[in-house]
Amino acid sequence: MTLTISLPDEEATTRLGAAVAHALRAGEAVCLSGPLGAGKTTLARGLVRALTKADEEVPSPTFTLVQFYPAERFPLAHFDLYRLTRAEEAYEIGLDEALEDGAALIEWPQRLDGRLPGHRLDIEIAMEGGGRTARLTPHGAWEGRPIEF
């Protein structure tokens, strides 16, 4: 069941990231999509900081493609697939391994050409007026799991 959440400002987007982090489990992925400037990195920063520490440096991995965080509950890998040319590249840089040992946060999941992790929460952010909306669609183990936002 898809859930739509209003994100009137950056703080709400960060809060949603933290709420998703609290529900995230090892072996699962969070897939973020939306246009450039929609707030994917803001949401990702909220998620990463909720799993690590409040002042964690969270750069966008656009040029490195993946950032690894040794979070307390399990390791987290943050993938930015914007620059990929083939879906296989995500697996070559460690997507499978990230899901074996921990969890993955994936920006631009459409670059995987449908080869998405089975246990994932898709979050599509859209710009609407001065704010944004997030559509959350659970798959696999995420189905039926509440997110306390």
Question: What is the DSSP annotation of 67-99?
Answer: EEE--SSS-EEEEE-TT-SSTHHHHHTTHHHHH
For residue 117, how many C-alpha atoms fall within 13 Å in the half-sphere facing its CB?
Answer: 29
Tell me: the pLDDT tens digits for 11-55?
Answer: 999 999 999 999 999 999 999 999 988 989 899 999 999 999 888
Question: Strand, coil or helix: what is 57?
Answer: coil
Q: What pLDDT, on a 0 to 100 scale, did the predictor assign at position 135?
A: 97
Task: Assign a CATH topology to domain 3-133.
Answer: Rossmann fold (3.40.50)
Question: What are the domain boundaries of the chain?
Answer: 3-133
Average pLDDT, the chain: 91
Nearest 10 degrees: Cα torsion 50, 23, 25, 43: -50
Q: Which amino acid is at 81?
A: L
Q: Is 114 helix (H, G, I), strand (E, B) or coil?
A: coil
The pTM (predicted TM-score) of the whole model is: 0.92
